[in-house]
């Protein structure tokens, strides 16, 4: 029983990280049809920014952790918005070129990060509490899981509220359904593109700082390794569906944990099998729109 609780909560924590990356991927794809392969770079940069701040302050204090989370978000949002504004926007509706540019950016940024911070993993310090455990139904659960889950839930609620209650949110929801009709109502939908990139980048930057605490280190590869699973999650959840991304994040991460423990480390294999099954049975994903 305690093993199951531990796997479940660890899976939820990992799922929270997947969601922080997948939410942005899904929103960006839903509105613009852009598969943003550079999204992992926003995460990595957020993680390094958080670490750079933490090492200049008292890394074990809560204030530092919160400041580094906020900085990670801000850096992610800024870099993502700049990427949209300077690169993606010029390739409006040219999907092949968009993929080439975002893939190129992802590769180039990893090289840049290696140039600045080196190729080795850098270990991070965190408040004591995060490395301690809490006993739940006999399972000793590492506390950092709760931080991940709490942050992802807040981000999910925040994005839902933004989409529901703001004018930009209204434009984004309408644009996901019929972009050209939004422009035919006199709205410059490109502003919404920048906003969506900024939101996705903020979630990824936050995810970067959290991931550095989950794994215990930052490295230039951090974003790329999470991005693969985030893309799988986005496809399983249904491209463009935020709720689908949330559900699929949890399903994929929990499956991964259980398969790793019970079926001899086959977690990644199971995830790929799940992806294959979903694509065969329901090609649009769990909550995706029919094409």
Partner 1 sequence: MTEIVTESILSVAGLSASIAGQQVVEDVSFEMLPVGVTALLGRNGVGKTSTLRAIMGLIERSGEVTIAGQRVDREPTHRIVQRGVGYVPEDREVFSSLTVAENLRLAERDSSPNRQLIHELFPDLTDRAGQLAGTLSGGQQQMVSLARALVNDNRVLLVDEPTKGLAPLIVMDVAKALERAAQTVPVLLVEQNLQVVRMLAEKAIVLEGGRVVYDGSAEELLSNEALTKELLGVA
Which residues sit at the interface with partner 1, rule CB under 8 A? 170-171, 173-174, 177-178, 180-189
Cα dihedral: 31, 233, 65, 84 (round 10): -30
CA pair distance 225, 271, nearest whole angstrom: 14
Q: Cβ(81)–Cβ(197) under 8 Å?
A: yes
Shortest distance in whole angstroms from residue 36 CB to partner 1: 23
Residue 43: other Cβ atoms inside 10 A: 33
Shortest distance in whole angstroms from residue 51 CB to partner 1: 41
Residue 30 or 220: which CB sits closer to partner 1? 30
Residue 55 or 289: which CB sits closer to partner 1? 289
Residue 43 or 196: which CB sits closer to partner 1? 196
Residue 184 or 281: which CB sits closer to partner 1? 184
Residue 169: other Cβ atoms inside 10 A: 18
Crossing angle (nearest 10°) for helices 242-262 and 2-32: 140
Shortest distance in whole angstroms from residue 177 CB to partner 1: 5
Shortest distance in whole angstroms from residue 173 CB to partner 1: 6
Residue 186 or 264: which CB sits closer to partner 1? 186
CA pair distance 99, 96, nearest whole angstrom: 5
Residue 17 or 287: which CB sits closer to partner 1? 287
Crossing angle (nearest 10°) for helices 167-177 and 144-165: 80
Shortest distance in whole angstroms from residue 199 CB to partner 1: 19
DSSP state of 136: E
Q: Which tokens belong to 285?
A: 């994903």
Shortest distance in whole angstroms from residue 90 CB to partner 1: 14
Shortest distance in whole angstroms from residue 80 CB to partner 1: 23
Residue 145 or 179: which CB sits closer to partner 1? 179
Residue 173 or 282: which CB sits closer to partner 1? 173
Residue 139, beta-bridge partner list? 136
CA pair distance 230, 211, nearest whole angstrom: 13
Between CA 190 and CA 196, with CA 192 as vertex, the angle to 5 degrees is: 120
- Intra-chain end-to-end CA distance of the chain, in Å: 43
Q: Which helix (H) or strand (E) holds 214?
A: helix 189-215
Shortest distance in whole angstroms from residue 193 CB to partner 1: 13
All residues at 6 or more sequence positions from 283 whose CB lies less than 8 Å from its CB, including other chains: none
């Amino acid at each position: 029983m305690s093993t199951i609780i531990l796997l479940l909560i660890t899976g939820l924590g990992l799922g929270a990280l997947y969601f922080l990356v997948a939410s942005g991927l899904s929103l960006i794809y839903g509105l613009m049809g852009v598969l943003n392969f550079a999204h992992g770079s926003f995460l990595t940069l957020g993680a390094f920014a958080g670490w750079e701040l933490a090492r200049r302050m008292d890394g074990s204090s809560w204030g530092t952790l919160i400041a580094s989370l906020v900085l990670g978000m801000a850096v992610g949002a800024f870099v993502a918005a700049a990427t949209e504004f300077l690169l993606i926007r010029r390739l409006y509706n040219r999907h092949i070129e968009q993929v080439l540019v975002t893939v190129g950016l992802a590769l180039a940024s990893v090289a840049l990060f290696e140039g600045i911070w080196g190729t080795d993993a850098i270990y991070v310090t965190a408040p004591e509490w995060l490395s301690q455990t809490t006993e739940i139904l006999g399972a000793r659960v590492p506390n950092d899981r709760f931080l991940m889950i709490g942050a992802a839930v807040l981000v999910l609620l925040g994005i839902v509220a933004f989409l529901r209650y703001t004018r930009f949110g209204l434009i984004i929801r309408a644009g996901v359904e019929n972009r050209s009709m939004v422009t035919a109502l006199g709205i410059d939908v490109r502003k919404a593109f920048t906003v969506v990139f900024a939101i996705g980048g903020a979630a990824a930057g936050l995810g970067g700082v959290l991931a550095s605490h989950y794994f215990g280190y930052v490295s230039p590869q951090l974003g790329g390794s999470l991005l693969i699973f985030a893309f799988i999650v986005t496809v399983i959840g249904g491209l463009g569906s935020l709720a689908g991304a949330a559900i699929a994040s949890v399903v994929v991460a929990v499956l991964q944990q259980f398969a790793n423990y019970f079926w001899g480390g086959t977690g990644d294999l199971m995830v790929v099998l799940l992806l294959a099954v979903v694509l065969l049975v329901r090609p649009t994903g769990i909550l995706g729109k029919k094409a």
